[in-house]
């Protein structure tokens, strides 16, 4: 069961709120301070991607972010409802650069996530994509 | 924190000093700034990222877009950054091979390679 | 439709997260800075109350806080699932003081809420209590 | 921010300096401190709230509980607070009529009314 769950309409401003909550909840469950930055960035990327695919698909449902700590792990999942087919490949960014525009590119953020986070799992299908990230907790301060 | 942007000219280079967070929410502002500069004929840009607190992939995308634009005019886009947390994002994405990254604005302004 | 919705297991630590989100979201929708403190306190009180009644009733379901901005108003609702009968009276605190212990007292927090917030509505019933608070927005910065 | 607590003696008074946030999460710590003091025979307490950033009703409840405990021993519990945002919460709840509130620790320590 998630400890904290956040859902928000797919707007860029709310991605900042999600980031802020990621670092706050992470700290609260005892995440090592050296990982807080990584969590903040990774959750932000996953949420920005979810907001992006839903907006480009005209899908207004709330993006859902769930935070939980179980068995000494801090788990964050980000769900979009953009359906199967919202791209989830992680491009080789160095190769891709020549073609890359500043236009929204959902794979770009996922590449950052997978580069940052050791334990990440991306599942695509109906009703959309789930990005699950996990980090070890050094201590369990509170839950 | 919001994004702050300041622009100044040093010789044939235009220095853009960026502060705050470059993310999905503020990146459009930076993109506009870069587009405006290129439209007004500034093709040699130095983006000073020393006061950037946060950078995400949307911000990277805008920088890559800026690079493409100046290159279309035989220009350059150099970054100034020594912050490990920011450099890490360029490394992860392989963009250290795409952007010349300098330790100081002076170094970036005088670079010609 | 809520702009941002937060749900959390009924634990005191999460009340702090809810407060932090209340001020962040409030600022983001353009709440006047002079009201941010009031919103933070009021949302904290309503959440602390919800956590309290659920814990004393052994009800482990998530407390739900929804934030939205519509028609120039910032609306926050806090839902608990403690069922009808979770006290919602707002006691006259001055009268009550002699009997008051530091033990949990759900009416205490609501008294603070109703003292702080001009536009507040408390609805009790099944599946629980809903505290709805509203504040005027001076400007609509973003939504 | 978390709660900080410091205790010192001034004559027959015990001054508790509280800092940070007194809320549903930290209030149990303050309650313990007050219970410990009363158990160890300190019945005249001065709670300095000048460094408190946030106070909610759980915090008020703990202070009221402390007052009840010291009164059971003919004691006193005085508050030091000049912060408008904190005073407002005491006013709203009518507790300004219950607690003597002073502008300085010196004033509270020497008060005898
Ligand atoms: N993503 C975030 N990370 C850290 N702090 C944040 C974040 N979002 C908001 N805040 C906090 O909320 C405050 C209000 O944000 P605000 O200045 O309104 O942002 P903006 O100007 O982009 O709307 C900021 O001072 C900051 O402390
Ligand atoms: N309710 C809140 N209001 C403002 N900031 C908060 C809140 N909760 C957490 N924070 C921020 O999160 C950071 C981490 O909180 P933390 O020190 O872990 O709290 P605690 O010690 O009570 O667990 C704090 O430094 C603070 O900036």
Instruction: Tell me the average pLDDT across A60-69.
Output: 93
- Is chain C in touch with chain A: ≥3 Cβ pairs within 8 A? yes
Q: How confident is the model at residue C29 (pLDDT cuts 50, 70, 90)?
A: confident
Instruction: Tell me the average pLDDT across C67-76.
Output: 92
Q: Give the DSSP per-residue string, C19-31.
A: HHHHHHHHHHTT-
Q: Give per-residue pLDDT as tens, A80-134.
A: 988 766 555 555 554 544 554 444 455 778 888 888 899 999 988 888 899 999 9
Instruction: Tell me the average pLDDT across C19-40.
Output: 91
Q: Give per-residue pLDDT as tens, D81-90.
A: 999 999 999 9
CA B46 to each of CA A121, B19, B56, B69, D46: distance values in angstroms, whole numbers, following the listed order:
37, 14, 19, 14, 59
Per-residue model confidence (pLDDT) at position A53: 86
**Do the interacting molecules here have an ipTM over 0.95?**
no
Tell me the chain D residues in contact with residue C90 when contact means C-beta distances shorter than 8 Å. none
Q: Is it the case that residue C104 has pLDDT exceeding 50?
A: no
Instruction: Tell me the average pLDDT across D58-68.
Output: 90
Q: Is it the case that residue C108 has pLDDT exceeding 80?
A: no
Per-residue model confidence (pLDDT) at position A89: 55
Per-residue model confidence (pLDDT) at position D97: 85
| Chain B nearest C-alpha distance from A39 (Å) | 12
Ligand in closest contact with the CA of C33: 1
Per-residue model confidence (pLDDT) at position A15: 93
Tell me the chain B residues in contact with residue A97 when contact means C-beta distances shorter than 8 Å. 64, 94-95, 98
Ligand 2 center from residue A136 Cα (angstroms) = 20
Per-residue model confidence (pLDDT) at position C127: 85
Per-residue model confidence (pLDDT) at position C87: 56
Q: How confident is the model at residue C1 (pLDDT cuts 50, 70, 90)?
A: very low
Q: What stretches of B1-113 adopt beta strand conformation (E)? A: 4-10, 13-22, 44-55, 76-80, 101-102
Phi, psi (rounded to 5 degrees) for B104: -140, 160
Best mutation target among A17, A18, A76 (most C Cβ atoms within 10 Å) is A17
Q: Is it the case that residue A44 has pLDDT exceeding 80?
A: yes
- Matching residue, tokens 């100081």: B104
Q: What is the CA angle A103-A106-A111, rounded to 5?
A: 115
Any bridge partners for residue A68, and if so which? A75
Instruction: Tell me the average pLDDT across D27-50.
Output: 96
Per-residue model confidence (pLDDT) at position C143: 43
| Cβ-based neighbours of D110, under 8 Å, separated by 6 or more | none
Q: Is it the case that residue C97 has pLDDT exceeding 60?
A: no
DSSP-derived 3-state class of residue A55:
helix
pTM for this entry: 0.75
CB-nearest to C21 from A3, A11, A21 is: A21
Per-residue model confidence (pLDDT) at position B1: 62
Of the candidates C106, C124, C131, C7, which has an alpha carbon nearest to the alpha carbon of residue C53? C106
pLDDT along chain B (113 residues), means of 10: 92 96 92 96 97 92 90 95 93 87 96 83
Per-residue model confidence (pLDDT) at position C60: 86
Instruction: Tell me the average pLDDT across C8-26.
Output: 92
CB-nearest to B61 from A13, A108, A115 is: A108
Which of A12, A13, A14, A16 maximizes ligand 1 atoms within 8 Å of its Cβ, making it the mutation to test the pocket? A16
Q: Measure the CA–CA gap between B96 and B105, rounded to whole angstroms.
A: 17
CB-nearest to A102 from B31, B54, B95 is: B31
Of A71-80, B90-99, D21-30, the range with the lowest mean pLDDT is B90-99
Answer yes or no: are the C-beta atoms of D66 and D99 closer than 8 Å.
no
Tell me the chain C residues in contact with residue D92 when contact means C-beta distances shorter than 8 Å. 111-112, 115-116
Handedness of CA C81, C85, C89, C93 (dihedral sign): negative
| Chain A nearest C-alpha distance from C81 (Å) | 16
Ligand 2 center from residue C26 Cα (angstroms) = 18
Mean pLDDT of chain A: 82
Q: Is it the case that residue A143 has pLDDT exceeding 70?
A: no
- Kindly state if the Cβ of A27 falls inside 6 Å of ligand 2: yes
């Amino acid at each position: 069961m998630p400890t904290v769950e956040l859902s928000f309409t797919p707007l860029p401003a709310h991605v900042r709120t999600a980031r802020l909550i990621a670092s706050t909840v992470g700290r609260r469950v005892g995440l090592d301070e050296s990982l807080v930055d990584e969590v903040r960035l990774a959750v932000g990327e996953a949420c920005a991607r979810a907001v992006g695919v839903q907006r480009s698909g005209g899908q207004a449902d709330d993006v859902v972010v769930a935070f939980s700590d179980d068995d000494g792990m801090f788990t964050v999942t980000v769900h979009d409802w953009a359906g199967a087919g919202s791209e989830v490949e992680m491009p080789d960014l160095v190769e891709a650069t020549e073609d890359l525009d500043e236009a929204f590119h959902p794979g770009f953020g996922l590449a950052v996530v997978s580069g940052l986070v050791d334990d990440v799992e991306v599942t695509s299908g109906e009703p959309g994509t789930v990005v699950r990230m996990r980090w070890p907790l050094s201590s369990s301060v509170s839950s | 924190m919001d994004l702050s942007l300041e622009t100044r000219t040093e010789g044939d280079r235009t220095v853009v000093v960026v502060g705050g967070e470059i993310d999905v929410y503020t990146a459009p502002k930076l993109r506009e700034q870069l587009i405006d500069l290129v439209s007004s004929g500034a093709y040699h840009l130095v983006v000073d990222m020393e006061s950037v607190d946060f950078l995400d992939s949307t911000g990277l995308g805008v920088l890559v877009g800026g690079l493409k634009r100046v290159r279309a005019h035989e220009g350059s886009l150099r970054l100034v950054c020594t912050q490990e947390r920011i450099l890490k994002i360029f490394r992860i994405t392989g963009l250290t091979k795409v952007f010349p990254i300098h330790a100081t604005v002076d170094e970036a302004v005088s670079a010609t390679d």
